[in-house]
Amino acid sequence: MPPSHQVWYRRWLMVCAVRLLIWGLRVLCLTLRPVHLQQHFEHHAWGGGTPVLLAFWHGRMLYFLYRYHRQRITVMVSYSRDGEFISRVLQGLGVDVTRGSSSRGGVQALLDMARKVRKGYHAAMTPDGPRGPRYAVQPGLVTLAKRTGAIIVPVTYNARWKKVLRSWDHFLVPLPFSRVVVVYGEPIAVPASALPAVSQAKRQEIETSLRCITAMADHYFEKKD
């Protein structure tokens, strides 16, 4: 196959795969049966009159890509090959995408996200992505909150019926008609005047909160069973 035909074929495959995943994600999420724990934290954040910055682990993003796609929200997505695919899916769902990560284009991405938040967008980040280490919060999340005044809302989920991929992030895919538990953490604000020591303390607070609510989500169905 000539190189030009190979490029066209790859693009065609990408378009088909993106459309299929968008359709599949919509159908899947419509079958899920969610229960929410500590949802008053989410209500408090959305009703507070300040921008919201959702923080969820890289491996627990799938359900939230659909749950929040109707919000005026921008999501940071890496420049990796997987990131390109995720970016197209999000755009197909109507979600704004800001490209960049801690390993490539991170500074510019944070500046772009901050500009969008000041214009009225909310934001979402996977603070342990795109390469890990898993369940370790990188400083970009705190920097964005400090620059914009956005309030950070830790959130995670688990599913009774699921497939966990053998990837670095243990990516979780709920199975159709599964019960899903969504757990929110207490909103966290970062003062604009925060010194490095305070920023580090906030980063640790976010990581502790995310680990705690993830443990709650992971044990939820064990208790039910």
Which amino acid, one-letter code, is at 175? L
Residue 7: pLDDT band with limits 50, 70, 90 = low
**Residue-wise pLDDT tens digits, 119-159:** 999 999 999 978 889 999 999 999 999 999 999 999 999 99
Closest CA relative to residue 220, chosen from 36, 64, 31, 30 = 36
CA atoms within 13 A on the CB side of 199: 15
Stretch 10-14: mean pLDDT: 78
Count structural domains, the chain.
1
Looking at the predicted structure, is the pLDDT value of residue 10 above 80? no
Range of the structural domain that residue 47 is part of: 3-224
Element (H, E) at 172: strand 172-174
The encoded tokens of residue 95 equal: 């979600």
Q: What is the CATH number of the domain that holds 79?
A: 3.40.1130.10
Single pTM value for the model: 0.90
